[in-house]
Amino acid sequence: MSLALFDGALAVVTGAGGGFGRATALALAERGATVIAADIDRAAAERTVVLTKALGAVGAAYEVDVADAAAMEHFAAAVRSDHRVPDIVVNNAGIAVSGPLLDTGVDDWERILGVNLWGVIHGSRLFAKQMVERGEALPNKPDKPNYGGHIVNIASAAAFAPSRALPAYCTTKAAVLMLSECLRGELAGRRIGVTAVCPGFSATGIMRHGTIVGVDAAGQERMRARADRLLRLRNYPPEKVAERIVHAIAKNKAVVPVNAEAHVLHALSRIAPGAMRAIARIPAPLG
């Protein structure tokens, strides 16, 4: 794929301080995009910008909590005033909450819904509105079918797969998938593409910082250690997911399962939903 694919484009990436976000920011920068790296950890976002500049790209770091509606309003306005309306937005910021639904408290639900779902809603509605307004103000250009821009929402293979171990996480990611499908239909006539990217297991560190409910402190450590071991064995780096994101934007894909397990779960959810419900009954061992 051409390294000048996004030459001159402005790309906003949330959760850009690490994992999929940093890998995506670098992949876009490598292909000519100016990258706005946003993260709740400003220092991490700044490190990402340093890496983009090492690739010869231009970038800027912003600190923002995607779950905070007012903060996201301010962030979207700042991007527009400091730079311009973005051409690409990747709503990537996400957290994990694992453990039984009956042990998941309201505070846990509010936290994961705030980041994983509301963060995507805020990023989608605010920047899509900017893209629509820009398109209405500019002359029609039939030779540029995606002239309005592109929004990528990072869901997960968990969006296809019910799990007794990850009910809160699966719920938010399934919602992100449906939100993306709805928004794609709404914006199609505006020449704005929308993609839901659904990675399987990848070494992003999300579980190291995740919340685990229903077990004591020792059980939490065992589960985190086990998750780290499994992800190391899986050995699927964020950079490969970033490449699929780049390809999805270029080809205006609707739903993109990433890696083997995501493809299998996606297929099973469509052709054998009963099997998926049976798998969901299997308890997760502590290690």
pLDDT number for residue 152: 98
Per-residue pLDDT averaged across 62-90, rounded?
98
Task: Label residue 108 by pLDDT band (50, 70, 90).
Answer: very high
Domain that holds residue 270: 10-279
Q: Is residue 92 part of a domain?
A: yes
Give me the number of domains the chain comprises.
Answer: 1
Residue with tokens 């968990």: 158
| Contact between 218 and 102 (Cβ < 8 Å) | no
* CATH number assigned to the domain comprising residue 163: 3.40.50.720
pLDDT for 15 beyond 90: yes
Q: Is residue 4 part of a domain?
A: no
pLDDT number for residue 146: 42
Q: Is residue 253 part of a domain?
A: yes
Residue positions annotated with a catalytic role: 169
pLDDT for 287 beyond 60: no
Task: Label residue 140 by pLDDT band (50, 70, 90).
Answer: low
Q: Is residue 89 part of a domain?
A: yes
Q: Is residue 239 part of a domain?
A: yes
* Neighbour tally for 82: CB within 10 Å: 10
Task: Label residue 286 by pLDDT band (50, 70, 90).
Answer: very low
